[in-house]
Amino acid sequence: MATSSDDMKQEYTFRRYNDGDDEWGGLSENIFQASWSHKCPTYVHRTPPCQGSCPSGHDVRGWLDIVRGMEKPTGDMNMQEYAFQRATLSNPFPSVMGRVCPAPCEDGCNRNMVDDFVGINSVEQYIGDQALEKGFQLAAPGADTGKKVAIIGGGPGGMAAAYQLRLKGHAVTIFDAQEELGGMMRYGIPGYRMPRDVMDGEIKRIIDMGVTVKNKTKVGVDVPMADIEKEFDAVVFAMGAQAGRALPVPGSDAMNCITGVAFLAAFNEGRLKAVTGKVIVIGGGDTSIDVASVARRLGKITVENEKDRPEHIIINQTAHDVAESAARQGADVTLMSRSAIEHMPAAQYEIEDATREGVEIIGQLTPVEVIKGADGRATGLKVQKLEADGKTPIEGSEYVIDAELIVAAIGQGGDWAGMDGFANDRGLANADKNFQVPGKPGFFAIGDIVRPHLLTTAIGHASIAADSIDHYLNHKEPVSRPKVDVHHWNLLAKLRETDHMPSEFHTLSKEEVIKAEGFAKEIDLGIRGTSENDFAVHNYEDRSKAEIISSDMLFLGHFKQEPRHKRDHITVSAEDVIGNFQERLVPLSEDDVVSEANRCMSCGMCFECDNCIVYCPQDAVHKTPAKDRTTGRYVYTDYSRCIGCHICADVCPTGYIDMGMGE
């Protein structure tokens, strides 16, 4: 039969063999002997790359499978609450992270080998927003242990640590120097990227678990460190790195040279309402983009009083007069980076938005000197062009950019006032792989104070640190962390949840064996096999703590190309940017969320497609009886019929089947 014209036009997503794959290897590389093999299928659970790429170790595949309807809720839960409970096992901020996380999980998604990654962030935002709208609560705290933990800092890391420790039953007190909790979530990210009611709702859920909060209380200043050590059984440093780094060039001590952290804090506290003159931002990361975009939204004013200059507002903790700032005009903002624009670490869509909003972005440029006027204020910044490597200066390329305000967003450090002996030479904290402070029993450190990075990184630190603290409080040695250190889906937990737990194990008596076999003989009462018993989980191997499943282990030909369901992104022009602080992301509808979750390939876990059943030539693969069926236990193999042809493994889209039995 000739190939139809429609088939000729179809765009396939997979090739079993590529051009040049025409050489036969040695017979030892082939498992076949005539029409059969000594190897039979077994079911192997591995970690998907989305989860392996997530710093907080989210069970991404798990909650996507719930949203798509593959894994069913138990009890009275609906899909939304069940997905929320699964998502918050690792990260209690789904609504926040669904908006602001740069989503390294999407970069790792195996779907990129077919068409485009799954929009994980958009589904996460839906889960979080539904939870806030419907009042879902986090899991209940564990039984009280009588142990008390002090957490210094109420940012995402500190809050996540409080949540994980309450799940284990430990009492938690958060000490935070600011008036409100949130850390860099509140004081470093503008509200148009993350609405404050969303953040406040997710913080409140954690506090409602019985967390004590002491705001406007700086440990080491308002409360002596010695008192903290005396009152608490363990201490967590989670205060973030909210001390920005100054420019390392001559003249950077000018008053109108400030840090990006200080600029954003003054804006987010509601004090800074306008800038003056030309603003230069030095950086290239997300913080520098936020500074530049905020400056454009604030607009500039002409000041008559020295006290209204932005640096005085920021440094002296005063506030702009609203009436004066109402007369603002478009601010002239330049962002410069050592990297080429296409290599800047900021998210690409943020770079595009900033450019559209009127920010001038210049790559391959480095600051050389801050030029000062007679009054000691900066009047400009001398810069030098760099080669394409972003490191090598170009001789004779220096020039001066006029500036009224210079903002450095080039790195951060910690504030250790009153906490002597804990900071390293970089102003951060040392911590081992279990986030214990070396040589300081009972002290732990997480988040930006260890290594400035993403919000989700601090949340991931919190989970590991909570385990370490729990072991410390119970006088146990820290456990060895797995190679793939994430929140793993657990088959036994799923069997327990669905009332499918294996029966209790016991060794058969001589009489039971005789009765079962129907004759008497001398026997070994030990268990030689489990294939006929229901006290074992048969033909399942959990490699999730050791392996991340790659795309070449999947049958990509199963998946048709399907465009990603993208959130609408409200763009703002340079003419309309002043005073425009509305949220830019428009959430997906529920139908689009479910459709997007359906694009997930469920890498490393059966998603019940029936391929192995349909294509088995021996009728050896069958559905598990409905009364015994649950996620991960959808099919079984009748090994008395299996000839080891490995067709089931070839056509398994998710890589859940290995030809491993019999080795």
Q: Quickly name the fold that domain 246-410 has.
A: FAD/NAD(P)-binding domain (3.50.50)
Note whether 386 and 393 are within 8 A (CB).
yes
Give the tokens for residue 250: 């001559």
Query: Which amino acid, one-letter code, is at 318?
Result: T
- pLDDT given at position 516: 59
Question: Averaged over 293-322, what is the pLDDT?
Answer: 83
Q: Which residue has the tokens 């603003």?
A: 279
- pLDDT given at position 529: 57
Q: Where in the chain is the domain with CATH 3.50.50.60?
A: 148-243+414-473, 246-410
- pLDDT given at position 13: 60
- pLDDT given at position 326: 62
- pLDDT given at position 376: 93
Residue 643 has pLDDT above 50, yes or no: yes
3-state secondary structure of 413: strand
Nearest to residue 157, comparing CAs of 426, 447, 420? 447
The highest-level CATH class for domain 148-243+414-473 is alpha beta
- pLDDT given at position 328: 72
Residues 501-516 pLDDT 10s: 887 776 666 676 666 5
d(CA 353, CA 377): 31
101 pairs with which residues across the strands?
none
Residues 74-126 pLDDT 10s: 888 999 999 999 999 999 999 999 999 999 999 999 999 999 999 999 999 99
Nearest to residue 617, comparing CAs of 573, 581, 650, 578? 650
Which has more pLDDT, 531 or 279? Answer: 279
Over pLDDT 70: what percentage of the chain? Answer: 89
Note whether 262 and 314 are within 8 A (CB).
yes
Question: Averaged over 408-421, what is the pLDDT?
Answer: 91
d(CA 658, CA 649): 6
Residue 424 has pLDDT above 90, yes or no: yes
pLDDT class for 34, splitting at 50, 70, 90? very low
Q: SS3 for 243-289, per residue?
A: EECCCCCCCCCCCCEEEHHHHHHHHHCCCCCCECCEEEEEECCHHHH
- pLDDT given at position 522: 47
Residues 153-187 pLDDT 10s: 999 999 999 999 999 999 999 999 999 999 999 99
What mean pLDDT value characterizes the chain?
89
pLDDT class for 565, splitting at 50, 70, 90? very high
Q: Are strands 332-337 and 360-362 parallel, antiparallel or unpaired?
A: parallel
- pLDDT given at position 411: 85
Residues 447-504 pLDDT 10s: 999 999 999 999 999 999 999 999 999 999 888 899 999 999 999 889 899 888 887 7
> Angle, to 10 degrees, between the axis of helix 60-67 and the axis of helix 79-87?
180
> Residue 392, CB half-sphere, CA atoms under 13 Å: how many?
4
Give the tokens for residue 121: 């962030």
Which has more pLDDT, 580 or 534? Answer: 580
Q: How many residues does the chain have?
A: 663
Nearest to residue 407, comparing CAs of 319, 267, 292? 292
Residue 148 has pLDDT above 70, yes or no: yes
d(CA 594, CA 123): 8
Which range has the worst mean pLDDT, 303-317, 335-349, 410-424, 578-592? 303-317
- pLDDT given at position 24: 53
3-state secondary structure of 292: helix
- pLDDT given at position 640: 86
Give the tokens for residue 287: 């913080």
Which has more pLDDT, 9 or 112? Answer: 112
- pLDDT given at position 206: 98
Residue 404 has pLDDT above 80, yes or no: yes
Residues 566-608 pLDDT 10s: 999 999 999 999 999 999 999 999 999 999 999 999 999 999 9
Residue 36 has pLDDT above 60, yes or no: no
Residue 23 has pLDDT above 90, yes or no: no
Which has more pLDDT, 663 or 344? Answer: 344
Which range has the worst mean pLDDT, 11-25, 54-68, 262-276, 299-313? 11-25
Q: Which residue has the tokens 């004090």?
A: 271
